[in-house]
Amino acid sequence: MEMADDASAESPALMLSFRAEEDAGEEPQVRSNFQNTALWIGQLVTDADGRASFELELPDNATTWRAQARAVTAETLVGQGASELLVTQPLLVRPALPRFLRVGDEVSLRTLVRNGTDEAREVTVTIAVEGVTLTGEVTQTRQVGAGESAIFSWTARARAEGTATVRFTATAGGGYGDAVELSLPVHLDVTPETTATGGVVEDTARIEAIFLPEYVITGQGSLELALQASLVGALDEELAHFRPYRWESNVSIASRIVATVAVQRASASGLTEAQNRQLAKDIDALVAAQMYDGGWAWCRTCYRSDVWVTGWVLIALGEARDVGYGLPEYQYNRTTRFITEHVQRRTDVMRPADVNQHAFLLYALTSAANEGGVVSPLAREQAGLLRSLVKDHRTQLTNWGRAYVLLGLLASGHGAEHEAVRALLNDLTAATFASANGNHWEDERIAGCMHNSSVRVTALVLRALIEVDPQHPLVEETARWLVLARSEQRWKSSVERAQGMASLGAFAELTGETRGVYDYQVLLNTGRVLDGHFDVPAGDYLDGVALGLDALPLGEVSRVQFEREPDTEGRLYYSLNLRYVTPAKEIEALNRGFAVSHRYTLLEDPDTPITSASLGDVVRVTVTVVAPADRLFARVEDFLPAGLEPIDPKLAIVSPWLREELQQDQAAAVLRGGSSFYAPWYAWYFSPWDQVDLRDDRVTLLASRIPKGVHEYVYYARATTPGDFFVAPTFAEETYLPEVFGRSDSGRFAVRAE
């Protein structure tokens, strides 16, 4: 060990240089243990002089280690210090390898060899590899000047999945030498796909068939089985979001009424005494808040009735009337006049009639007029107006407008087989955004409308489906989608939360699932893979298992049988997700709910796509995601070729100008995505991406919600390794509905050593 020339024993930054003295003819010791942190001691007690010692075995890194210490005394005196330790060798091997490879990659395996001695030397470097196929001679010799470095490189090809091990051994005579061994993963050139199905077991067992072709790679992928005894779960937990507060609006009070009634419908035990008291208090508050003209204002200090608020309050009172509370008839008549005058008011080009708002108001009138499921004469009076909406304005109705007309027609005495009812049901069915494990509906946003979210529209459609046809095949999967939206906390307002609860409460009342107590089992072919006991009232209603694909015979049909204890209340819901990988070489793009692509360009030419770059170039990567509908809990993975490494702008080593350039590109991507507003300090607000992870082989984008439309994300990568590399398809999926996915096509990208 020698002390560096510029260091002293008293220096706080102690620079030591370890020089390996090898005996002539001996092979250098192989360095393979590389760590970022050599030692961590959480607490170390000093002696009376303030001295402490420890021993450590340094890893094999040739680097400058920085030691930091912080001290505190019993009297809370504090201090800190730091020192540095340089570890190097006269002849030093510094590999420049990619962090991974993919099958089919042709890569240049390179190492930099530094001659740190004071004279030129003839350096011989030998390469030894496992897991890749090498081209050319394994040994190279060249003259390296004093204090200079030289690059040695070999061409290799990755042919199989696994781990590639590369060892460089350099010798220069005179006992000087070094050897480094590194391992890197070799990934398959594949892309993931998922198929899914789901269903419900009541009394008779259900069987699903699965077929795996013989070419499937069983080492990757899984068969996921998920069971639920209740989709709705415990709705009463949602009432915590409706706590009364001072000066709350009439809309908030009405929403709490709708939510409370939903809990009563869904719960096997009904409402608590406190919930019943609050319900009665809320109804009295709304009755007292009615304006002189028969409508309701938004809040106590507003002096003008609002038709949207009036309709929502009337719906809430109608919900309460179904469970024994109601609006006095004279007040209902005043509200009828207010709404009728609005619906039949004179309109012109400047003030056109809104047929969807009319549907909303007419349903509010009919629902509040009925009691105990009996159609009242007052409700029948609205039937003609509702039918005229279908006859004269069917093409103008939005999905939420159709749902309100459907509910209004049923509330005014029309049967499920009525021509207008069937027509609207067909329209809603045709407008479904469907998947195997979740259906939903969307509408264009309308300024000032209460129904501008997919959650509200879907909740209304679910309620309409339940009322028209409880056995409709879309009912279960629509409820499943609403539950997913609930778990993501997408119920953003009191109205939205109340509408979601009302629909799920009606669903739970229909199915009786909240009272389910039974045994269950799942069989794969002849073997049991899952069994147990569900008790929904006790909160036990979830189970599942993930099986490896080696559990399924290739080239044969497997049977998955779901059973539950017969003659008991409740339902057993199941879902099956079959995840597998397919060869991705020369594969084409696929859209099963996402359209995704990526494009490589150089910084100085953003308009020209490239398929190659020179070593050291910074490459702009633009990932484009097109969502034809709102997507929940989405994950997008953009896989990098092995010759590129992503640039993390948070690192101090990134140049300020490059960081600024990236910020400008990302801002432009936000604006291209449709946002009308942008400022650097809140640009994240308009981006759907909640989290961005930079990995060795990919960049992962996570979003709890991706709105319908086109979205872009830009990041930079640097060309670090020469070669010709496979580019795996960019992949996007809804994580909880994995059958909703998409991928780009595959390709190749070359990095030139020039």
Model confidence over 523-539: pLDDT tens digits?
999 899 999 999 988 88
The lowest-confidence range among 29-43, 82-96, 503-517 is 503-517
Question: What is the structure's pLDDT at 345?
Answer: 80
**CB-based contacts of 430-433 (< 8 A; 24+ apart in sequence):** 431/399, 432/474, 433/628, 433/629
* Predicted pLDDT at 68: 93
Least confident of 366-370, 451-455, 561-565: 451-455
Strands, DSSP E only, in 202-337?
206-211, 222-228
Q: How many CB atoms lie within 10 A of CB 685?
A: 11
- Complete domains list, the chain, with CATH: 91-187 (2.60.40.10), 193-230+516-580 (2.60.120.1540), 249-514 (1.50.10.20), 588-752 (2.60.40.690)
The mean pLDDT value for 494-509 works out to 89
> pLDDT tens digits for 324-357?
776 677 778 888 888 888 887 877 666 677 888 8
Q: pLDDT band at residue 8, thresholds of 50, 70 and 90?
A: very low
pLDDT at 447 over 60: no
For residues 457 and 441, is the Cβ–Cβ distance under 8 A?
yes
Please tell me which residue, 187 or 353, carries the higher pLDDT value.
187
* Alpha-carbon torsion (503, 504, 505, 507), positive or negative: positive
Residue 26: the pLDDT is 67
Q: What is the pLDDT of residues 564-599, one digit of tens each?
A: 999 898 899 999 999 988 888 889 999 999 999 999
Banded pLDDT at 684 (limits 50, 70, 90): very low
Residue 32, exposed/middle/buried by CB under 10 A (0-12, 13-18, 19+)?
Answer: middle
Mean pLDDT of 444-462: 77
Compute the distance between CA of residue 34 and CA of residue 15 in angstroms, rounded to an integer.
20
- Taking all residues of the chain, what is their mean pLDDT, rounded to a whole number? 87
pLDDT at 22: 44
In the 3-class helix/strand/coil scheme, how is 345-364 assigned residue by residue?
Answer: CCCCCCCCCCHHHHHHHHHH
Residue 2 pLDDT > 60: no
What is the side-by-side strand order in the sheet with 595-602? Answer: 595-602, 618-627, 709-719, 644-646
Dump pLDDT digits (tens) for 702-745: 998 888 889 999 999 999 999 999 999 999 999 888 889 999 99
Please check whether residue 113 is in contact with residue 107, taking contact to mean a CB–CB distance below 8 angstroms.
Answer: no
**pLDDT over 70 at 7, yes or no:** no
| DSSP states of 572-595 | EEEEEEEEEEEE-TTPPPEEEB-E
CA atoms within 13 A on the CB side of 631: 33
Question: Which pTM was predicted?
Answer: 0.76
pLDDT given at position 20? 43
Q: What percent of the chain has pLDDT above 70? A: 91
Q: What is the pLDDT of residue 350?
A: 65
What pLDDT is stored for residue 50 in this prediction? 85
Decide if pLDDT at 24 tops 60.
no
> Measured in whole angstroms, how far is the alpha carbon of residue 729 from the centre of its chain?
18
Taking a C-beta distance cutoff of 8 angstroms, is the pair 741, 593 a contact? yes
pLDDT of residue 679: 47
- For residue 495, the model assigns a pLDDT of 87
- In the structure, what pLDDT confidence band is assigned to residue 12 with cuts at 50, 70 and 90? very low
Of 400, 399, 419, the closest CA to residue 409 belongs to: 419
Inter-residue contact 107 to 101 (CB < 8 Å): yes
Least confident of 71-85, 94-108, 433-447, 496-510: 433-447
**From 46-55, 156-165, 228-237, the region with the lowest mean pLDDT:** 228-237
> Which tokens is 139 given?
């040994």
Radius of gyration of the chain (CA): 34
